[in-house]
Amino acid sequence: MCCGCEACSQACPKACIEMRVDDEGFFYPVIDYAICVDCGLCEKVCPVINKREALLVREAYAIKNPSKFIQQQSSSGGFFSLVSEYVLQNKGVVFGARFDKDWGVRMDYVEERNDLSKFRGSKYVQCRNEETFAKAREFLKNGKLVLYTGTPCQIAALKSFLGRDYTNLITIDFICHGVPSPGVWQKYLSEQKNKLSLQSIANEKDTFLSSSLKERLEITGINFREKAGFGWEKFGFIIRGMSVSKMDQNQILFSEMHSHNPFMKGFLSNITIRPSCSLCPAKGGRSQSDISMADFWGIKEIDKRFYDPNGVSLVFVHTEKGDSIMEKLVCEKRSVTPDDIVFTNISYMHSSPLHPKRIAFFSRWKSESVVKLLEEFAKPSLLDKLKFIIRMILIKLNLNYKLNKLLKKR
């Protein structure tokens, strides 16, 4: 079951593999058999075919970036920036995910500290890898220190693509819930932009100005994990854009708590995620990353004093190289046990099951409003609502973590 990592298309010596969009808006490899020489390299680098043994967690930490500004701009506690700045200080290069001009998500690299901001913050859309594996290999062969960050399947694909270990390569993955369809994201964004345009036109009294406003509405920023006004735990989804007067290039055009946003609800309920995410080949350390990172959602239950409303990162180390990196970082750090990881981040070990109405959603998404369909299909059931209420009560009473530990002992 293809995870869309693009390792095969990058490894092909004849460039006969093209990534094409399927009916669900995901990219899949398509082989031109008229050019293919049947060398087998595509299969050799596939992380789904070539599953790796799981790595044990050597150490685990709760971490906070000492910079409150970076912590606020990051999804959790700012751990990614700590490692990235270390790499750049040592004249290295950092690979991460950024938005492109159309607000799709692509892997890229930076060599300057000031450029790191484009990588900060979660982007809940499947990322195009394109030629970044080959570019990373080029840097590695030239002796450059390389940090490559991505989903577990991206890291597994990179390791397969490289075919050998490099002492100057650092890999970091993150606890992944799944990757939503790029096609669904683009359609949602288009519908949202049209709605914002109509709202702006309705508020504009100048007829000439309003007639051209729809064409001139310009998005300047998107944040899936906005903390300002929401907090780390109840984060919001916001769209920023150019004001009508163009005096403000960062005006908030749309703001909504993530649990109320249709796209986020579709993602978190597993309606829009890729089919392979339900059988992820890289869970539980199988990506072979040096370090894995996540939100430390359970930190308040484990250590109230370390809790920070601006965010705390959960970091677990898989390799000696990861240990070495951790020793070099200057940050607030607290050791935690592997149990703390399992009980507060179930997605580390387990894949996300596909939504039972997923097929029905994708049979209609092209011809109907994505926003309306997501509101229809992602509506939580009474059982889901009851589970959520019970979980919130347990967390409020500080019983969630203790109950999980008790169940494990039994």
pLDDT at res. 208 = 46
Tokens for 61, please give them: 């930490």
What is the rounded CA–CA span in Å between residue 371 and residue 191? 8
Report, as an integer, the average pLDDT of 49-64.
Answer: 92
pLDDT at res. 199 = 74
Report, as an integer, the average pLDDT of 87-93.
Answer: 98
Mean pLDDT of the chain: 90
State the CB neighbour count (10 A cutoff) for residue 163: 11
Report, as an integer, the average pLDDT of 294-304.
Answer: 90
Q: Is the pLDDT of residue 143 over 70?
A: yes
Q: Report residue 190's pLDDT band, with 50, 70 and 90 as the boundaries.
A: very high
What is the rounded CA–CA span in Å between residue 59 and residue 76? 19
CB 235 within 8 A of CB 225: yes
Does residue 396 or residue 159 have the better pLDDT? 159
Domain 59-179+273-348 has CATH 3.40.640: yes
341-376 residue pLDDT tens: 766 677 888 899 999 999 999 999 999 999 999 999
Q: Is the pLDDT of residue 104 over 50?
A: yes
Report, as an integer, the average pLDDT of 371-386.
Answer: 84
Residues 6+ apart with CB under 8 A from 21: 27, 28, 182, 183
pLDDT at res. 245 = 56
pTM summary value: 0.91
Helix, strand, coil proportions of the chain in percent (round to 5)?
A: 40, 20, 40
- Alpha helices per DSSP H over 230-319: 262-268, 299-302
Q: Report residue 89's pLDDT band, with 50, 70 and 90 as the boundaries.
A: very high
Report, as an integer, the average pLDDT of 370-398.
Answer: 76
pLDDT at res. 284 = 84
pLDDT at res. 156 = 96
Q: Report residue 247's pLDDT band, with 50, 70 and 90 as the boundaries.
A: low
Q: Is the pLDDT of residue 260 over 50?
A: yes
Q: What percent of the chain has pLDDT over 70?
A: 87
pLDDT at res. 99 = 98
Q: Is the pLDDT of residue 170 over 60?
A: yes
Q: Is the pLDDT of residue 243 over 70?
A: no
Query: Where is average pLDDT lowest: 123-137, 182-196, 249-263?
Result: 249-263
Helical packing angle, 79-89 and 320-328, nearest 10°: 90
Q: Is the pLDDT of residue 407 over 60?
A: no
pLDDT at res. 209 = 46
Q: Is the pLDDT of residue 157 over 80?
A: yes
Give the domain ranges of the chain: 7-44, 59-179+273-348, 380-410
What is the rounded CA–CA span in Å between residue 61 and residue 68? 19
pLDDT at res. 301 = 83
Q: Is the pLDDT of residue 400 over 60?
A: no
Please list the residues that pair with 316 across neighbouring strands. Answer: 60, 292
Q: Report residue 158's pLDDT band, with 50, 70 and 90 as the boundaries.
A: very high
Does residue 76 or residue 379 have the better pLDDT? 76
Report, as an integer, the average pLDDT of 372-401.
Answer: 72
